[in-house]
A and B are shown apart, each in its own frame.
Chain A
Amino acid sequence: MKRLLWIIPILAAFCWLDHRLSDGRTAGNRRGSVTRSLARLADGADARILVLGSSTTAELLKPPVIAAATGRTPADVVMGQINGCHHGCTWAEARHLRAAGRRFEAVFVGVNLFQQCEHDHSKRVMQQLMMTPAADLPRLLATWRHAEQPLRTYGRAAGMALSGAYADTRVAQYRLGAGKAFRPPRGRWFAPGTAPPAPTPGCEYGPKTTALKAAFTAGLLETLSALAPRVTLVLLPDRGLAGGEPAQMAQLPAFRALIDRLAAPHPAVEVLDLIAGNPITAAGFRDGIHLTPEAVPGQVAFFHKQMAMRRP
């Protein structure tokens, strides 16, 4: 047993190294995206309208755009968007706001077709843990049961509890001088020509693949209905849908059906469809899901048109 005592100073040294590497568990681009959003929400304490979602939401549903559609000023709109934030992250953010006693006149949430599939990634666990109030942790742990590999999710949470520099945060890649050595290669040095376009992120809708996100979305809509009397789910287009890609189009009915089913129990929730009748083409996307700068004005106009047609 005395021999095992050696492990105490060694572990202490590792804790110190981890603390320095992670800058006191604050370093990392993904952590930064969450903390910046929470700072914006705190700064916008008087905001009346809340916008949530991921980067696809931020590029279109900017405060001036929302303000123009709702007859408010940009200062009345606060952006709670977080990069790579799917519904588990948005649910955690909404719970955070509810626990802080915040209330809004309206909430807008951007939703992409692919986001209803689990898209297992360790950053999602980190986002959820960072924002979920302590009182809601049992509910978060229970929701993780619906994951395709729940033990993996619990294990990642344990990893994050142990280490601030755990791979999820990419701290090593952003902070260490040699960090770029472990970043995926980006250049096309191995072959002539340009790289083929990346495929549009998709989702094979099925009970197992969407179980976790469906559970989170149900909780999200329930929480948002308590945050505001009017919640708008904005269905965002992507390159596959705009270009009529068969695989993507085949999932559209299941996507709409799932969203409608989850929204039905909440009278405060309405769905604003920016997919059907959208004039955008595949060329309007710089990758599978993000708009080119040239396509944004047209999408803003389409959003305003759809907003004008919705119920008062």
Chain B
Amino acid sequence: MIFTTPEFVLFAVLVFGAWRLTRGVARKALLLGASYAFYASWNPWFLGLILVSTAIDFGVGQALGRTEDATRRRRLLWLSVGANLGILAVFKYFDFFVASAVAGLQALGIEASAPVLGVVLPVGISFYTFQTMSYTIDIYRRQLEPTPHLLDFALFVAYFPQLVAGPIERARHLLPQIAAVDRGRFDASGFGLIALGVFKKAVIADNVARLVDLTYADPTQTYGWALWIGTYAFAVQIYCDFSGYSDIAVGLSRLLGIDLVQNFEAPYASRGPTELWRRWHISLSTWLRDYLYIPLGGNRAGPTRTQVNLMITMLLGGLWHGAAGNYILWGAFHGGLLAIARPLRPLGDWMDTGPRRRILNPIRRVLFFHVICLGWALFRAESLTDCGTIVSKLLAPEMEWDVFWAGVARGGDQAYLAMVGVCVLAVVGWQIVCPTDSKRITAWLWRRPEPVRFTVVLLLLYAAMILAPEQPPPFIYFQF
């Protein structure tokens, strides 16, 4: 069930109504049942995996809480990490690694073939496996006590607003709220977030997606400047799609009295790569920092080792997004940016001080936005070969402008292209000039009088009803 579909609205209304009528264990059981039903709506077989992950990590958590033996604790941790990564390896990466190995051997002139599993990728698997691993790792690090309640833990794993596309929650933040679910108060500002998220996804992301699909369908044919137009549009699409989903997830949770972490903070206001990863997909970047980068040594083992750790973290971050070479390349791109940015930090600090800051900030943001776009081009490409074609065209763009204008006129696409331009200026320009994101916008709205709040929320939802495409694409991050 996609959040912006009528069936999800029906589901959410029913769940919310039942939530209001229940208390205590019944309320938790209701949310858990609803979460399983939500997940099973994609494919009932997927439920088996989430149940396995839940059982293993609950058991490991309990066992870790009962033993002080260092060797046993380490083995229990590896059981949890191994099981979760094993599930990911089989369902997400097996076919990719096999195909890559076969291609590599063939490139060396060795005839090879291997069976592929051809399994369907379970929705949200990358999100909930990371979430459950954080639970056992935190217990191992003695940063968290294991919960004795299986119901609470199962709900932590499967909680439907954030199950399939995050935010990736930490047990320290979500479990206590689940345990005290009766104390959670209905927060009506959740409607504001939901309306904003629906508008971002249904009106902006889904409408600009058509242009992205056209320009990226066959990059060998597409003009370079058209690819820039498509890439700007993709930057808007992926931000509005993913942050829109997060807004809806956070908003739904507020209605249920649960607070989820913020996943975006005006990412296109970033002036450099370090700042970008504090603003984009915050729950994943902090997860990678805490459970991969820091255990690798972080920045504590000298500059060279720091660069290596950054590159490993970002490569695996890219791989997390998908079993395809372009995602790894995207991760390497951002790893390279972070590695380059570290020694340039004194320059960044200089630009960030005094009156020059106000002049330089927007310039830095505009320039870095274009660097981000080069990364998005790799992310959106459909193959490694396309990556090379697209990047070379973006770096040396060309266009037959008479063909462009004639094509626009023939198709009557002036208004559509203007709409895309307005979306790019509004979404990106707003963040460059005034870095605010959904949480603050909603907080501002909720300080207005009630008639204003109701009107804006209903206007956003009505606009989504009448301006959304008839065949909307799914959320981008559902495929991860």
Contact = CB atoms under 8 A, between A and B. Distances in A.
B466 A21 contact: yes
Nearest to A165: B466
B411 A188 contact: yes
A166 B413 contact: no
Contacts of A166: 465-466
Interface stretch (A155-163, A223-231, A256-264): A155-163
Contacts of A168: 470
Given A11-B458, A178-B415, A181-B419, A189 B10 contact: no
Interface string A16-33: 011001000000000000
Interface centre among B230, B415, B469 (most CB of A within 10 A): B415
B10 A154 contact: yes
B433 interface: no
B198 to A, nearest CB: 13
A189 B407 contact: yes
Interface in A95-129: 121-123
B418 A14 contact: no
Interface stretch (A190-198, A209-217, A279-287, A296-304): A190-198
Interface residues of B, number: 50
Given A7-B454, A21-B466, A189 B408 contact: yes
The secondary-structure label for the interface of chain A is helix
A187 B470 contact: no
B417 A185 contact: yes
A166 B214 CA distance: 26
A310 interface: no
A195 to B, nearest CB: 10
B469 A182 contact: yes
A192 B226 CA distance: 11
B115 interface: no
Contacts of A165: 465-466
A186 interface: yes
Contacts of B10: 151, 154-155, 158
Interface of A: 3, 6-7, 10-11, 14, 17-18, 21, 121-123, 149, 151-152, 154-156, 158-159, 162-163, 165-168, 170-172, 178, 180-193
Interface of B: 1, 5-7, 9-11, 207, 210-211, 214-215, 218, 221-223, 226, 229-230, 400, 403-419, 450-451, 454-455, 458, 462, 465-471
10 contacts: A121-B471, A155-B6, A163-B465, A163-B466, A167-B465, A167-B466, A167-B467, A187-B408, A187-B410, A188-B410
